[in-house]
Structure 1
Amino acid sequence: MKKFLLASAMAFSAMSFAQIDFSSTRFGIIAGGNYSGVKNAHNPSGPRFGFQGGVLALVPIGSENQFFLQPEITYYGAGETGKDKNAKGVDGYNAVYANNYLSVPIYFKGYFSEAESEFFGMVGPRFNFLMSQNVKNAPVLRPYYDPDFKDPAYPDVNGKASKFNFGLGIGVGYSYKRQLELAARYDFGLSNTYPGLDKEPKGSTKAKSEQVLSVTLSYIFN
């Protein structure tokens, strides 16, 4: 699947690069809320609410006012908490595992028509560079919950987030006069968020995939 996505992206890039009109690029700002989680990492595990904010560029592809590249540079709050609704009172329920990134998504964006106000869809890769990791109220009995704790019995186990991860993002939204835009997005992690937890918990070999559902509001300058 990953090879197919990579090959498709390379083919699309090769076909469309000559049609990209950098001279007509518009810039904008973006902000929104994130609802994130990490699969197979901590127990209990629940969502974290964070936010994102930054800048974007809208680069036309072709002569129609319909297809664009939209790269962004944003602060991006993700990670998870221990607030599993079925684990109230359990040690770790109040834990917070906050991963804060400098994030660079690159979307292919298509409006459903050339109308000024119109719905749109977007898809593309997201690259996250870890800025900071904050862990609070983690259980002290399990060494992998503390990103800086090393137990001699578990020399290869730690909860440090990877300094770099990537995923695939998809989204839909509505544009008002190609200037004010509201979008819902889903980012699915394709890399391991916690390499040191490969065999945790209890011998699991499942990848720790970070996933984020977000709602964003953008303003694009003329």
Structure 2
Amino acid sequence: MKKFLLTSALALSTMSFAQIDFGSTRFGVTAGGNYSRVKNAHNPSGPRFTAQAGALALIPVGKENQFFLQPEIVFFGAGETGKDKDAKGMDGYDAVYANNYLSVPIYFKGYFSEAESEFFGLAGPRFNFLLSQNVKNVPLGRDYYNPDSPASDADINGKASKFNFGIGIGVGYSYKRQLELTATYDFGLSNTYPGLDKEPKGSDKAKSEQVLSVSLSYIFK
């Protein structure tokens, strides 16, 4: 039975790969804005607004003009700030915890029909490689979670992981399969700040990075 299942899985994988038409790949450019946060990391915690920009490939899957693989490579800003609306005036409100990545999402993309202008959905993994971590306006020598105890800069900020990954889902609209507007939500599945596993004080929850993006892409013929 196990041999049958393994053989079936290999056969299906081979058939799926055989349907990918690399020879008809189209390329494009993409840019947009990001709204990001990191759960369970800093206090106060608020959103960071930044940008993304890069290139994509659109690879047909099957003979219909409807399903595609869409790998991308983009500069991708994420992280968080201290701008919690309920924390105005608190130490750390003006803090910025900026994580900038070289990001590689690989989406499976499906248009709702074969029409030239049509809505579409996409989903797939995203792999982020840290390019830089910039932290500023953080009050030093104070532990947010225990003000009576001194803390180092590293204790407060945490070192961002050099690699993290997540799952992205999105919807969009394509105008003549060339100009496309897309909204995506990326949910981090790995720990953004492994060094802050015990922060906020008493918490061992993973520091999950989440990004809501709106982007505009142009795909060349």
TM-score with structure 2 setting the length: 0.88
Structure 2 counterpart of 1:119: 119
- The match for 2:187 is 188
CA offset digits 1:2-42 (Å, max 9, x no partner): xxxxxxxx998665212100000000000000000000000
Number of the residue aligned with 1:17: 17
Gap change, CA 1:70 and 1:212, over 3 Å in 2? same
1:132-176 CA distances to partner (integer Å, 9 max, x unpaired)? 00001012134699xxxx968x99886110000000000000000
Aligned pair count reads 208
Q: Which runs of structure 2 are paired with 1:106-145 in the superposition (5 Å)? A: 106-142=106-142
| Distance in 1 of aligned mates of 2:50 and 2:192 | 17
Percent identity over paired residues:
81
Q: For 1:95 and 1:158, how far apart are their aligned partners in 2?
A: 10
Please give the alpha-carbon distance, in whole angstroms, between the structure 1 residues aligned to 2:162 and 2:181.
30
RMSD over aligned CA atoms reads 2.4
> Following TM superposition, by how much is the alpha carbon of 1:61 offset from its aligned partner in structure 2, in angstroms?
0.1
Matches within 5 A, 1:48-63: 48-63=48-63
Distance 1:12 1:217, change over 3 A: farther
Query: For structure 2, which runs of at least 5 residues remain unmatched after alignment?
Result: 1-9
Conserved 8 A contact 1:59-1:70: yes
1:14 and 1:169, CA in 2 relative to 1: closer, same or farther beyond 3 A?
farther
TM-score, reference length from structure 1: 0.88
2:73 touches 2:104 (CA, 8 Å); kept in 1? Answer: yes
Matches within 5 A, 1:36-51: 36-51=36-51
Q: Are the equivalent residues in 2 in contact too, given 1:143–1:158 (CA < 8 A)?
A: no
Task: Give yes or no for contact 1:157–1:196 (8 Å, CA) kept in 2.
Answer: no
Shift of 1:203: 2.0
C-alpha distance 14-52 of structure 1, shift in aligned 2 (>3 A): farther
What secondary structure, in the 3-state scheme, does the structure 1 residue paired with 2:195 have? helix
Paired with 2:16 and 2:213, the residues of 1 have a C-alpha distance of 28
Q: Write the letter of the residue equivalent to 2:161.
A: S
Q: In terms of Rg, which structure is larger?
A: 2
**One-letter amino acid matched to 2:177:** R
Structure 1: gaps of 5 or more residues: 1-9
Partner of 1:166: 165
Quote the residue 1:6 is aligned against: none
Give me the whole-angstrom Cα distance separating, in 1, the residues matched to 2:167 and 2:90. Answer: 33
> Letter of the aligned partner of 1:216 in structure 2?
S
Cα distance change of structure 1 residues 13 and 37 upon mapping to structure 2, 3 Å threshold = farther
Match of 2:7 in 1: none
Cα distance per residue 1:106-134 (max 9 Å; x no partner): 00000000000000000000000000000
Structure 2 vs 1, CA of residues 54 and 12 (structure 1 numbering), >3 Å: closer, same or farther? farther
Q: Could you tell me which residue of structure 1 aligns to residue 208 of structure 2?
A: 209
Which secondary structure does the structure 2 equivalent of 1:68 belong to?
strand
